[in-house]
Structure 1
Amino acid sequence: MELTRRRLLSALSAAGVLAVVPPRFASAAESAAGSASVLANTVAVFAGTPESNARPETAAKLTAMAATARSWLTAMDGAGANELFAGLPLGTNDASLNTSYAHLYDIALATRVPGGASDLTGNQAVQRRVIDALALLHERYFADQSKGYYGNWFNWEIGIPTSVTKTFVLLTDELAAYRPDLIPTYIASMDAYLRAGRNGDVDLDSRFHTGANLADITTNRILQGAILGAAGEDRIRKALTDQLTVFATIDPYHLQHDNTDGHYADGSFIQHDSVAYTGSYGKALLTRVVQTLKILDGTGYMDGNALVPVVQTWVRDGFAPLIFEGWMMEIVKGRAVSRTTTGYADVATIVEAAVDLAGYSTGAEADALRGWVKFVRGNSRAALNPASFVSPLSIVAYTAILADTTVPAADLGATSRTVAFNAMDKNVHRRPGYAFALARSSDRISKYEYMSGENLMPWFQGDGAYYLYLSGQDQTQAFGADYYAAVSPYALAGVTAPVEERRTIPELYGTAWYENPSHPLNFTSSSESQNAYVYFPTGTNRHSGGVTLGAYGAASMVQSSDNAWASRDLLPDDFTVYRNASATKSWFLLDDEIVVLAAGVGDEAGRDVTTAVDARHAAVTDQVTLTGALRDGTLWTSGEADLRWLRYANATQRTAVGYVFLSAQPVRVDHTVVTRSRRVVRTANPDTAVTRRVFGASLAQGPASAAYAYALVPGADEARLRAYDGGPLSVLANTVRLQAVKHTGLGLTAASAFTEGRHEAAGVGIDGPASVLVQTGGGVTTVAAADPTMDRSSVSVLLRGRRLAPVSQDERVTVRGVTQGTLIEFDVREVYGRSLRVTLR
């Protein structure tokens, strides 16, 4: 279900909003009852109920909750001067203050768990200790607005209010009896800290009040309204109306409030204006809105039936394609790629949301979600631990789904499929045995995200970096934070980079950001300039897109420098900018192969350039073998050589990848032991040494322009690689104007046209720029096309030869016979890179 932002916001200003938010309560008593229901639901969500907590499957969760609370109580006992908890200094460190509030919530939670630890559940002394600590923190570190709001805005507007608000929900009765003044005092302060808003409330025109951030803020305000009882009804309704905007599908041609953050029609999710973020902020948004459905269920404040189908679409189109055997792919994590706790843990969070969502779904949609939960659990290469779920209620529902024999395990998409997330410049290509994920960038989408000392060496992550996930492997041994720690940031798989040394933000400026408030661009921690040039710079090219046809795809990108380099004359003299190498690239996504073409690879600044064909790492003890053949057919043994093919095999992990080189050039092969600290990619990571054996295959050159063509062949054995010598793949063109390949076995011609004018590839004429796939077989020809610039009104494709008649076609496609053959016109106006198709006979 696609709910456009324009439709939703129109509804919110008219009577149509009543379909989701019913009218005000008729009396103060009804309002108070509604608020009481919100509080009761919220306590049940986070602490469980007597029924859920009596179930054996929740025992591990309850034990963990109690152990966490006891550990923080011990830390309170050992606190020193200017500390509430030992090791968390207060007064100048906003992260420590935020964490201190979070610890208080954990302690309060353990006191409200039905059937929980006997020394904690219902313990009034512990609850009052938490309340006293809240009062102390407010008096010394939160009340004074002139001293607060240092460091990260998120802590003051979202992090601290989230912990305080949930703690108040848990301790409402005790607060009323012991410190009734604390609730209005804190709420007034939290409103005052909402500085990105307006008059202490949400401002939908604020760049801070979007996407997951907006969901967090509005959920807090819903709960704060419930704490206030009947007096908080208006607060709840306003917050809910604001939160409803996150359910709208972003229409990039008709933006509301200039907001680009949220879900797009093709399944993309963007946060921070230009960062592909499904696996981090998108995950947080999913969790928060599903929790909102739960806490408002039966309260009279919301009828969530109209919203459930929207969230179902997010899971099916946005999240499911990005999860491979229980692992969340790297291409949509932003700075979170450098954290040691992503991947499998991300997916557990998404599964919990899917479990809860299934409870609000009906019929086939409910069965699909339950089947997907089973599928993820059964295919994950790491045990999915339900004790990591937030809610004991979710654990019970999850256990029931697994025990339900009437619903078979099933993915939410075909085993063989390709997905173009063109709105966020990403591609996912899946086949039995592997998944391929590609990170592109453009002047619309950031090359990477760095922030707060996270993802310290991100420079090339959006320059065509790709990740080949192999079935059966523990992905923590292939990717995750250790991949970025062990593999050179200049040699990530798929990257073309200049030979130079770059420095991290802390190395350049001595802090986690660039500070220069006196400059006209006003560089401060969360300023627009900081975002644009330091945290998540975009590229400067327009061409980045792709096309899909059934289970096949093609993607292309013109590599560029970022907007900081382009704006260097406007930036401060002490601000460091880096120039990128040049390259025009295409990726053709087939069955057994991913074919990569690169042209115009070079550097106008005169630096040498390297292109990484692949980079993989393994344990030093893994049995890894490298074999290959030279272009003349003789066996390769070691060193740099003009290879026809190369094979990497890890017998320990039972994985293998083949590389077929379709153009002649020396290939450098490295296989070395590397030891680096996890802290090199994130300052908050433990200073733990990672020792890995790193394999790299790369193409090195001078600054002059070069062209390359090669194919990745997942799971290939040597016989299969040798067969490519006369095999189905051929390169039709590889220039900065046109890149095209043909696969005779699939009857497929795939092309990327980068420049204006007519381009020819094996009897197919293409009006560029365009991405085109043509497949012939079974007496029919199917053509798909897309606009990789997002700017064109139409794309035309000429099939030379016979005149063909359409069998089926998209609405925006027209076909007519011409002297040269069959001319197909694709109306791509305002479709934002979506593929259009026609089948002809």
Structure 2
Amino acid sequence: MRQQVFRTCLAVVLVLAWAALAVAGDADVAVVREQVRRAILEEEGTTAAKDVEWMVRNLSAMGRWPDVDYQDVSAARWKPRAHMERLLAMAGAWAAPAGPFKGSPAVLDACRRALDFWLAKDFQSKNWWYNELSIPRRMGSVLLLLESQLDAEQRRKGLGIVGRGWAGLKHEAWEANLNQVDRASVRILQGCLEHNPHMLAEAFASVTFTLGQDPAEARKSGGIQPDLSFQMHGPQLYTGGYGLIYPATILEIARFARGTQWALTSAQLEHLTGYMLDHQRWVVRGPWLDPATLGRNISRPDADNAGLLDRALELLAGFNPPRLAEAAAFREEIKAPGRGGPAGNRYFWNSEYMVHRRPGVLATVRMVSTRTRGTESGNGENLKGEHLSQGSFFLLRRGDDYAGLFPAWDWRMVPGVTALQAPPPFAQYTWGRGSEGESDFAGGVSDGEHGAAAMDFRYKGLTARKSWMFFDDLAVLLGAGIGHAGGPVYSTMDQRRLTGPAASGAGPGGQPLPKDLTMAAPARWIWNGGVGWLSLEEAPLQVQAAVQEGDWQDINTSLESRRVREPVLSIWKDHGVSPRDHTYAVLVGLAHDEAAFRSLTGAPPVQVLANTPALQAASHPKKGLTAAVFYQPGSLTVRQGLTVTVEQPCLVLLREDAQTLAVSVANPRSAAMTASLRCSMPLTGEGATPDADGVRLEIPLPAAEQAGRTRTVVYRK
């Protein structure tokens, strides 16, 4: 059904695009051809002279390079691709108008030999992506640069390879976004080579279609979601993977159409700009991405580098978007973590992902439910990521707090996650699957400045009700109902790079934490690198500071062996073997120097009001903030004179001052609902009806694709 709906929608778009071709064809094709050719030369016409000379010198008479393994058919890092990369670099050097090899007979001869060799062998990978996207795109670029020098047979065979890009389009939901855009880029090359306006029309229409999908369709086919998060391969958060390259890919293609009938509309540009500034900007700290957004790319070196966004923002500026100043600020923020950025709290309900930002920190929570999926494996990647999305809690202070650590991680101790400490191997989930939640209760509530996220986590016999509550520069982590019948269970608070001095203690006093604490030790509080952790229960936390090591190949079989040794700080709550109804309660200082955090350990400014399987709640009395997670109907006494009762499971955030009470409510089951609450104090405002117990509040919550979004109502006392 999803495939049929997608095919129908795209067919309508293409028919309208073809109808618009009444006159303009040839002139627009010429504009696109010139802009595509110029873009190829910008990238491929700048190869260093010594590298081009090496390629020409080492190419054999039959047109092959001796260092390329042409027998390889690997699905990832396919080795024969190097041949096409070199061929394109030589073609760019020959065609570059101001380059040292412009019109060089020797370079042209090498190009012809290398092209003929590939056309004769037509090498194939086990991965369709190389066969239908990567190689056809490079082949199309080579043909366009060498167009005047091709004979009929080279052109015929080359166009046959280029044509595979669009011929392979299945119009399936899983391929409806980035893969579709990649196919369109190949179709544009084909249209330029064949001087075909109809090909260009359908290619540009399929690209812009991804920027104007109906919200319901976006939920099915992926891409930019109604909440502006990015999903791919089903309902998986992929902002730092496919979603990282999506804007630059769209804008690279869109610039080919500038000045033609296929140019981006203002609405499409606004939608893409919103994704970049209102979602991507929130998940980046300096040049580093939140690891929770990377998908299976987490098993690739430097995958958390946000540098690709710089190119996207550069391209965006060329379109003069309405939020140009914000885009320029974002570009500066990527260069260094201390250059500002947004501050506040946002919950992306379609992807069950919360972001909390303050000037000195980025904190995120990623959950999973029956509506979403955890992180997939595929192509031999992400071999240990079973628990990545099961309540991860990442804290980026410097930005590189986790960068490069992943081979050395203990993958049973993903930050934030409660997991069985079973020995490997880890479960692996193929394309579009990811670890699936077994409960529909996962959600967040946010007033834009503060917020809370919670999930009823169930997985392979393990149960845990978990919540994360954010009050300015503090977070309260609560766990209740933690149980498993068959093994040891940990709730990990963090597993991060150990940086600089560290300290821990059983009370307000403390001692330096040695970097060679290879055996776990108990501690009530721990501090390192501007972040502090304090147990709010009598039971201590466990802490370990040690050099850990591992190999990239252990988490990604497509990589060559490369060992990593890093100092790692691990903090967790040990629930023992076969725990039943265990809990944890931890205060995290998100951005505190050691002295400031030590001052909190004697008299924490937050109070845990409840931590049971029915209700989790905490407050920050000085700020007038209270967050509550009702897993079932119930009541919470916030303070003397203020009790809140709810009639349905929901998440509630209260913000109180002398004159008002702001009530923020969300449905963690992401369904339409009118939240019914009672408050023990008199209030006036929308949906407020006085009754014998104080006031009854009726707050309609968003529905359809907006279901799960917070509704905030401010009442007067």
TM value normalised by structure 1? 0.77
Q: CA deviation at 1:240?
A: 1.9
1:395-435 C-alpha deviation (Å, 9 max, x unpaired): xxxxxxxxxxxxxx874xx3x21121221122211112111
Query: Does residue 149 of structure 2 align to residue 174 of structure 1?
Result: yes
Q: CA deviation at 1:686?
A: 4.2
Query: Does residue 73 of structure 2 align to residue 112 of structure 1?
Result: no
Q: CA deviation at 1:752?
A: 1.2
Q: Which residue of 1 aligns with 2:326?
A: 368
Query: Does residue 48 of structure 2 align to residue 126 of structure 1?
Result: no
Q: Which residue of 1 aligns with 2:448?
A: 550
Q: Which residue of 2 aligns with 1:47?
A: 41
Q: Which residue of 1 aligns with 2:537?
A: 663
Q: Which residue of 2 aligns with 1:343?
A: 304
Q: Which residue of 2 aligns with 1:467?
A: 394
Query: Residues of 1 paired with 2:6 and 2:232: CA distance?
Result: 21
Query: Does residue 694 of structure 2 align to residue 827 of structure 1?
Result: no
Q: Does structure 1 retain, via aligned residues, the 8 Å contact 2:625–2:653? A: yes
Q: CA deviation at 1:553?
A: 0.9
Q: Does structure 2 retain, via aligned residues, the 8 Å contact 1:545–1:556? A: yes
Provide the secondary structure at the position in 2 that maps to 1:96. coil
- Between 1:725-734 and 1:712-721, the stretch displaced more is 712-721
Query: Residues of 2 paired with 1:271 and 1:685: CA distance?
Result: 23
Q: CA deviation at 1:286?
A: 1.0
Query: Does residue 575 of structure 2 align to residue 603 of structure 1?
Result: no
Distance verdict in 2 for CA 1:719–1:325, change over 3 Å: closer
Query: Residues of 1 paired with 2:535 and 2:62: CA distance?
Result: 62
Q: Does structure 2 retain, via aligned residues, the 8 Å contact 1:641–1:666? A: no
Q: Which residue of 2 aligns with 1:479?
A: 402
TM value normalised by structure 2? 0.89
Distance verdict in 2 for CA 1:67–1:493, change over 3 Å: farther
Q: Which residue of 2 aligns with 1:220?
A: 186
Q: Which residue of 1 aligns with 2:217?
A: 255
Write the mapping of 1:512-531 to structure 2, written as runs, cut at 5 A.
530-531=430-431
Q: CA deviation at 1:300?
A: 4.0
Q: Given residue 730 of structure 1, which amino acid in structure 2 is its aligned partner?
A: Q
Q: Given residue 70 of structure 2, which amino acid in structure 1 is its aligned partner?
A: P
Query: Residues of 1 paired with 2:698 and 2:174: CA distance?
Result: 41
Distance verdict in 2 for CA 1:611–1:541, change over 3 Å: same
Q: Given residue 365 of structure 2, which amino acid in structure 1 is its aligned partner?
A: L
Q: Does structure 2 retain, via aligned residues, the 8 Å contact 1:765–1:798? A: yes
Q: CA deviation at 1:162?
A: 1.6
Q: Does structure 2 retain, via aligned residues, the 8 Å contact 1:274–1:538? A: no
Q: Does structure 2 retain, via aligned residues, the 8 Å contact 1:270–1:278? A: yes
Q: Does structure 2 retain, via aligned residues, the 8 Å contact 1:600–1:736? A: yes
Query: Does residue 160 of structure 2 align to residue 157 of structure 1?
Result: no
Write the mapping of 1:283-682 to structure 2, written as runs, cut at 5 A.
283-302=244-263, 304-344=265-305, 347-362=306-321, 364-377=322-335, 379-380=336-337, 411=341, 414=342, 416-470=343-397, 473=398, 475-476=399-400, 478-480=401-403, 482-503=404-425, 530-531=430-431, 536-561=434-459, 579=460, 581-604=462-485, 606-618=486-498, 623-630=500-507, 643-648=523-528, 655-682=529-556
Q: CA deviation at 1:281?
A: 0.7
Q: Given residue 235 of structure 2, which amino acid in structure 1 is its aligned partner?
A: S
Contiguous gaps of at least 5 residues in structure 1: 1-5, 50-60, 143-147, 382-408, 506-512, 514-528, 562-578, 649-654, 807-813
Distance verdict in 2 for CA 1:297–1:456, change over 3 Å: same
Q: Given residue 103 of structure 1, which amino acid in structure 2 is its aligned partner?
A: R
Query: Residues of 2 paired with 1:14 and 1:439: CA distance?
Result: 35
- Between 1:711-720 and 1:207-216, the stretch displaced more is 711-720
Query: Does residue 137 of structure 2 align to residue 138 of structure 1?
Result: no
Query: Residues of 1 paired with 2:140 and 2:46: CA distance?
Result: 24
Q: Does structure 2 retain, via aligned residues, the 8 Å contact 1:91–1:141? A: no
Q: Does structure 1 retain, via aligned residues, the 8 Å contact 2:589–2:597? A: no
Q: Does structure 1 retain, via aligned residues, the 8 Å contact 2:503–2:510? A: no
Q: Does structure 2 retain, via aligned residues, the 8 Å contact 1:250–1:263? A: no
Query: Does residue 210 of structure 2 align to residue 246 of structure 1?
Result: yes
Q: CA deviation at 1:438?
A: 1.8
Distance verdict in 2 for CA 1:262–1:23, change over 3 Å: same
Query: Residues of 1 paired with 2:696 and 2:140: CA distance?
Result: 62
Q: Does structure 2 retain, via aligned residues, the 8 Å contact 1:266–1:317? A: no
Q: Which residue of 1 aligns with 2:84?
A: 101
Query: Residues of 1 paired with 2:82 and 2:326: CA distance?
Result: 38
Q: Given residue 210 of structure 2, which amino acid in structure 1 is its aligned partner?
A: V
Q: Given residue 291 of structure 1, which amino acid in structure 2 is its aligned partner?
A: E
Q: CA deviation at 1:330?
A: 1.1
Query: Residues of 2 paired with 1:720 and 1:92: CA distance?
Result: 55
Distance verdict in 2 for CA 1:460–1:65, change over 3 Å: farther
Q: Which residue of 1 aligns with 2:584?
A: 708
Q: Given residue 255 of structure 1, which amino acid in structure 2 is its aligned partner?
A: E
Q: Which residue of 2 aligns with 1:202?
A: 169
Distance verdict in 2 for CA 1:786–1:78, change over 3 Å: farther
Q: CA deviation at 1:448?
A: 1.4
1:181-210 C-alpha deviation (Å, 9 max, x unpaired): 33343333444x45xx7xx36343x14531
Q: Does structure 2 retain, via aligned residues, the 8 Å contact 1:45–1:294? A: no
Q: CA deviation at 1:25?
A: 5.0
1:700-753 C-alpha deviation (Å, 9 max, x unpaired): 122122011001113242454343433321111111221111110210110112
Q: Which residue of 2 aligns with 1:773?
A: 653
Distance verdict in 2 for CA 1:115–1:767, change over 3 Å: farther
Query: Residues of 2 paired with 1:318 and 1:747: CA distance?
Result: 28
1:276 to 229, 237, 241: 237
Distance verdict in 2 for CA 1:74–1:284, change over 3 Å: farther
2:616 to 729, 739, 743: 739
1:166-187 C-alpha deviation (Å, 9 max, x unpaired): 2222222222xxx233334333
Query: Residues of 2 paired with 1:816 and 1:9: CA distance?
Result: 48
Distance verdict in 2 for CA 1:702–1:303, change over 3 Å: closer
Q: CA deviation at 1:591?
A: 1.3
Q: Which residue of 2 aligns with 1:24?
A: 21
Q: CA deviation at 1:62?
A: 6.8
For these two proteins, the number of residue pairs brought into alignment is: 697
Q: Given residue 309 of structure 2, which amino acid in structure 1 is its aligned partner?
A: I
2:200 to 230, 236, 246: 236
Query: Residues of 2 paired with 1:180 and 1:259: CA distance?
Result: 44
- Pairwise CA RMSD of aligned residues? 3.1
Distance verdict in 2 for CA 1:738–1:368, change over 3 Å: same
Q: CA deviation at 1:85?
A: 5.4
Query: Residues of 2 paired with 1:684 and 1:7: CA distance?
Result: 33
2:572 to 698, 704, 711: 698
- Between 1:331-340 and 1:295-304, the stretch displaced more is 295-304
